[in-house]
A and B are shown apart, each in its own frame.
Chain A
């Protein structure tokens, strides 16, 4: 399916290789021409995961889908378009509210140039390895030579794994160019990079890399022509992150920003991988080219190159700018090359096999990556990208203008100094961002497709079969090991803290008696309130206040069913603190392993406040930033013998389970209204000629249909049986009560909201003439027939705001100037006459 790119690749390569080293020093400089590396006929489209791109693609008949890739929360669709139509397709795609970006495919290139081995008149590497000494590596090796449990990902052209310098340290890796598990180097660049960062030292052979013990993860994203598809590179970065890479080396770059690489590098950074990239090899010129992407992103460490001469002058090819962070030697760098010939750099400028010299910020970045893995191995406090970046930057040898400058960044890498840096003052690691998930609640009181079915579990207080979880006392809690891994809120948990106060926390905070609104992140001391929890009845409960004969306690057990296991946690006959034995509540949480659903069931609710009037009921996750509130201190929120089921959904994805269902009989009498919050239907007198059954199903997701308006994710399917002849006359009214969140999503204007109906025959949404009642917060529309209805908003304008007035502000005073010379003449004459 991949489009052949060889013709354009050849042009791109020509840029890199046409200039032997002496020419580089002269004024004949490589000019970068992005046209050469832009793949014709391809557009990269970004969508949130869950959105189905089928309709989007079918909107333009000439489009072909080349590739659909999921990267974390991002879905990337590469489409083939007729050459010359790329801009048109980009504009069409950007007009769709769901589309995050649509960009051309610009290939990234290696930031290296083969060096002439005969340069300087001496055959075979006259200066050997001068670079390690410049960055204090020999001294650093007295402190550490690296750790075997550290992973360095070389996201590049692959690595020749048979090279003796990497023996015993190569991980399997992956080839994203050919989609197989043999990331063999067909360019020669990746092997060179791996040697600089991680060739074995002290092995009486060849060269010494910066880190002698690190495990090397080869990820091939650059083709044999040394050019890389940004989608492949992004896949490689995400793969390396998911493989647990501590440091990711990116000795590649391109002039233009790329949303795909922006997301992938941020994905790595936000999950704890330090990303180190070449600043770029296209500095000469006036002004010099700024730092290439992805190095230019602040979350990526951008490395420039210094030369071989005394005083570490900046290499004449090294890109400059505010985004530059650090420099390291990048001229005439000796490192490994594939053992067998046939790789594309071979022969260029006399480059042989086994070992050879290359110039470039590629090489400088590899030195820094090897230094970074030394830091990680040496001090466990180097456990976040920011801590690693700070260690490398703050210890650098200041060059050029004092302090940070646009030529050297913070200065030249000094590994020994960096090893002595104490990063513990910087923020510690944060939990990784959760993947997007939301929960749809349905209740047995409201939805006829859910019924209360209490799960009986044995109550055993002692012995090997004990089910008592040991949660006692006011504010007591117990840490339990879950019988199966629970995927909750986008994260996996094997343990949980069960609280006497009617909730289960996944962040260990099980003693909070004051219940909170959901979502509400606890961001200040004393950090006692949970941010990851499940609350069937979070209130101030006290198991130990019950008389002994009640058998009160919190119990947990697994139930096996034909469709899989369920884990049940039951709070049995627990008094509410303030009322002690005049109140008692019995309820349970059921974790359904197969579906990831969470079921709350309420068996007994006795006494005041047992209706949830002082309780929080719902789910909170994503560090307290997201959640699904069912009720907060709401009188009458709960009734005995009822159930609430929460089903996980990928936002925007096709519906996996049915929504909340209401079935009701309607008589053809006078005006009839059926409320099914937040929806309602009103039948005017005469709309029905016979009694009918109304089926009303409410849900939050529907296969997306791309339009120039934006769905708010509220849908209702309404059916009437027997089906009256359409169209209705008079027409029934469908109505929807909007929330504050709906209003904000609509740019704060109720007038931007409207209802639409889904035409099942044509598979398209059709806007309904919608009335708005701001007092009742109601949208309403008359309908000709029943179908699926949805709430939509006019999207953000695609045009930028008007924030100024035009230039006519000044009257044309210069016209006065035209009168001035004659005036002067007249005045001088009249003066002469005097």
Chain B
């Protein structure tokens, strides 16, 4: 009986270990630091409530959640759908970010989980902007299997990103499948793929194989007329 249970236990443990990071850690001030008592009247040397260049909304309407924040900042330029005809795929896109788990050495940074949607990294390139690396990622077998078949894409396949301004067409340039427990050379390919760019490009990432997460699929695409 114990033998029969062990694979299931193992499965549960592994699943727990591989869940993407929870979306938001506690944002309360560190207990060692008392928050400053701030009074919102101005000091005599800066009398009038002078305009602020950022025209910040009042704290009550300040967007705290990623989707609201992205909508407030980017409006109709925000990507909302991704379509990949070669995979007969059309999926909603949600903004995602990352969390620093360890505030000392910054080594432990985790990407948010896009859950069942496709994640668009909130400060990455916007479709149609003429510059920037648009970063998308999605699950292959947890929460959803949106990108289970991403690895089957071929150079020349079309990816269409939709925002409030219209459809933006991309043509796949390369599809790479690389191990996670990787050589320094592979790590460099990941780091380079996640970088911003001055020319426009689209990078799509998912786990591989369809029943595992030992590898990553990296799809690079460029806007195409």
Instruction: List A residues at the B interface (Cβ < 8 Å).
Output: 46, 48, 72-74, 87-88, 90-91, 94-95, 99-103, 257, 259, 262-263, 266-267, 270, 290, 296-299, 321-323, 386, 389-390, 406, 433, 441, 443, 445-446, 523, 612, 617-618, 625, 628-632, 634, 636-637, 639, 662-664, 671, 673-678, 680, 682, 708-709, 733, 735, 737, 739-741, 743-752, 754, 769-778, 780-782, 794-812
Residues of B within 8 A of A749 (CB): 24-25, 27, 97-100
Measured between alpha carbons, how far is A322 from B222 in the docked complex, in Å?
13
The smallest beta-carbon distance between B20 and chain A, in angstroms, is 5
Residues of B within 8 A of A800 (CB): 111, 137, 180, 190, 193-194, 205, 216, 218
The answer to whether A797 touches B194 (Cβ under 8 A) is yes
B205: contacting residue among A299, A746, A771, A803, CB under 8 A:
A803
> Given A630-B51, A631-B55, A807-B212, are A740 and B72 also a contact pair (CB < 8 Å)?
yes
Interface of chain B residues 73 through 111 with chain A (CB within 8 A): 73, 95-100, 103, 106, 109-111
CB-based nearest B residue for A632: B55
Residues of B within 8 A of A629 (CB): 53-55
Interface of chain B residues 1 through 49 with chain A (CB within 8 A): 7-8, 10-11, 14-15, 18-20, 24-30, 32-33, 35-39, 42-49
The answer to whether A739 touches B171 (Cβ under 8 A) is no
Measured between alpha carbons, how far is A148 from B153 in the docked complex, in Å?
46
A775: contacting residue among B59, B130, B142, B157, CB under 8 A:
B59
CB-based nearest B residue for A103: B192
Measured between alpha carbons, how far is A523 from B76 in the docked complex, in Å?
11
Give the size category of B's interface with A.
35 or more
The answer to whether A804 touches B142 (Cβ under 8 A) is yes
Total A-B pairs, Cβ < 8 A: 316
Measured between alpha carbons, how far is A91 from B174 in the docked complex, in Å?
22
Residues of B contacting A: mostly: loop
Residues of A within 8 A of B110 (CB): 797
Residues of A within 8 A of B196 (CB): 100
Measured between alpha carbons, how far is A244 from B157 in the docked complex, in Å?
34
The answer to whether B29 touches A772 (Cβ under 8 A) is yes
The answer to whether A270 touches B33 (Cβ under 8 A) is no
Interface of chain B residues 105 through 147 with chain A (CB within 8 A): 106, 109-112, 119, 121-123, 129-131, 137-142, 147
Measured between alpha carbons, how far is A803 from B201 in the docked complex, in Å?
21
Residues of B within 8 A of A262 (CB): 197, 199, 201
The answer to whether A804 touches B139 (Cβ under 8 A) is yes
Interface of chain B residues 177 through 201 with chain A (CB within 8 A): 180, 184-185, 187-188, 190-201
The answer to whether A740 touches B73 (Cβ under 8 A) is yes
Residues of A within 8 A of B205 (CB): 800-801, 803
CB-based nearest A residue for B173: A296
A680: contacting residue among B38, B174, B214, B216, CB under 8 A:
B38
The smallest beta-carbon distance between B62 and chain A, in angstroms, is 6
Measured between alpha carbons, how far is A798 from B194 in the docked complex, in Å?
7
In the complex, whether B154 has a CB less than 8 A from a CB of chain A is yes
The answer to whether A637 touches B192 (Cβ under 8 A) is no
Residues of A within 8 A of B97 (CB): 746-749, 752
The answer to whether B122 touches A747 (Cβ under 8 A) is yes
CB-based nearest A residue for B37: A671
Measured between alpha carbons, how far is A663 from B184 in the docked complex, in Å?
52
Residues of B within 8 A of A769 (CB): 30, 32-33
A87-B185, A794-B106 known; 18 new pairs, CB 8 Å cut-off, are: A90-B188, A91-B188, A257-B173, A321-B156, A386-B225, A443-B51, A445-B50, A664-B44, A664-B45, A735-B38, A751-B25, A751-B100, A751-B103, A752-B99, A796-B109, A800-B193, A801-B111, A808-B7
The answer to whether A637 touches B194 (Cβ under 8 A) is no
CB-based nearest A residue for B108: A797
The answer to whether A91 touches B122 (Cβ under 8 A) is no
Residues of A within 8 A of B98 (CB): 747, 749, 752, 794, 796-797
Measured between alpha carbons, how far is A73 from B224 in the docked complex, in Å?
22
The answer to whether A809 touches B69 (Cβ under 8 A) is no
CB-based nearest A residue for B45: A664
> Given A744-B73, A777-B59, A797-B194, are A673 and B39 also a contact pair (CB < 8 Å)?
yes
The smallest beta-carbon distance between B69 and chain A, in angstroms, is 6
> Given A445-B50, A806-B14, are A740 and B200 also a contact pair (CB < 8 Å)?
no
The smallest beta-carbon distance between B39 and chain A, in angstroms, is 6
The answer to whether B222 touches A674 (Cβ under 8 A) is no
The answer to whether B224 touches A298 (Cβ under 8 A) is yes
The smallest beta-carbon distance between B116 and chain A, in angstroms, is 12
For B19, B50, B103, which residue has the most chain A Cβ atoms within 10 angstroms?
A: B50
The answer to whether A776 touches B8 (Cβ under 8 A) is no
Residues of A within 8 A of B156 (CB): 321-323, 406
For A262, A632, A800, A804, which residue has the most chain B Cβ atoms within 10 angstroms?
A: A804
B106: contacting residue among A87, A673, A708, CB under 8 A:
A708
The smallest beta-carbon distance between B93 and chain A, in angstroms, is 15
Measured between alpha carbons, how far is A103 from B188 in the docked complex, in Å?
10
The answer to whether B198 touches A73 (Cβ under 8 A) is yes
The answer to whether A676 touches B46 (Cβ under 8 A) is yes
The smallest beta-carbon distance between B29 and chain A, in angstroms, is 4
For A390, A629, A796, A800, which residue has the most chain B Cβ atoms within 10 angstroms?
A: A800
**Which 3 residue pairs spanning A and B have beta carbons closest together?**
A322-B156, A804-B207, A747-B97
The answer to whether A744 touches B192 (Cβ under 8 A) is no
The smallest beta-carbon distance between B136 and chain A, in angstroms, is 10
The smallest beta-carbon distance between B202 and chain A, in angstroms, is 11
The answer to whether B73 touches A101 (Cβ under 8 A) is no
The smallest beta-carbon distance between B186 and chain A, in angstroms, is 10
In the complex, whether B206 has a CB less than 8 A from a CB of chain A is yes
Measured between alpha carbons, how far is A636 from B48 in the docked complex, in Å?
8
> Given A322-B156, A801-B111, are A808 and B200 also a contact pair (CB < 8 Å)?
no
Residues of A within 8 A of B140 (CB): 803-804
CB-based nearest B residue for A430: B130
A709: contacting residue among B11, B53, B106, B119, CB under 8 A:
B106
The answer to whether B212 touches A804 (Cβ under 8 A) is yes
CB-based nearest A residue for B165: A523
CB-based nearest A residue for B103: A754
Measured between alpha carbons, how far is A72 from B69 in the docked complex, in Å?
31
The answer to whether B154 touches A322 (Cβ under 8 A) is yes
The answer to whether B207 touches A802 (Cβ under 8 A) is yes
For A749, A794, A803, which residue has the most chain B Cβ atoms within 10 angstroms?
A: A803
B213: contacting residue among A751, A780, A802, CB under 8 A:
A802
The answer to whether A99 touches B29 (Cβ under 8 A) is no
The answer to whether B171 touches A298 (Cβ under 8 A) is yes
Residues of B within 8 A of A801 (CB): 20, 111, 119, 137, 205
Measured between alpha carbons, how far is A740 from B32 in the docked complex, in Å?
26
The answer to whether B46 touches A773 (Cβ under 8 A) is no
> Given A321-B156, A523-B165, A798-B191, are A433 and B130 also a contact pair (CB < 8 Å)?
yes
Can you list 24 A-B pairs, Cβ within 8 angstroms, ordered by A? Answer: A262-B201, A297-B173, A298-B223, A322-B157, A322-B172, A617-B51, A671-B37, A741-B73, A743-B69, A749-B24, A751-B27, A769-B30, A769-B33, A772-B29, A798-B191, A800-B205, A801-B20, A801-B205, A803-B140, A804-B212, A806-B14, A806-B18, A807-B214, A811-B7
Residues of B within 8 A of A771 (CB): 29-30, 33, 35
Residues of A within 8 A of B95 (CB): 748
CB-based nearest A residue for B15: A805
In the complex, whether B70 has a CB less than 8 A from a CB of chain A is yes
Residues of A within 8 A of B29 (CB): 771-773, 780
Measured between alpha carbons, how far is A612 from B49 in the docked complex, in Å?
13
The smallest beta-carbon distance between B119 and chain A, in angstroms, is 8
> Given A806-B213, A808-B11, are A321 and B155 also a contact pair (CB < 8 Å)?
yes
The answer to whether B66 touches A748 (Cβ under 8 A) is yes
The answer to whether B38 touches A748 (Cβ under 8 A) is no
Measured between alpha carbons, how far is A811 from B53 in the docked complex, in Å?
60
> Given A777-B62, A800-B190, are A751 and B99 also a contact pair (CB < 8 Å)?
yes
The smallest beta-carbon distance between B32 and chain A, in angstroms, is 7
The answer to whether A675 touches B25 (Cβ under 8 A) is no
Measured between alpha carbons, how far is A321 from B139 in the docked complex, in Å?
29
The answer to whether A739 touches B56 (Cβ under 8 A) is yes
The answer to whether A290 touches B35 (Cβ under 8 A) is no
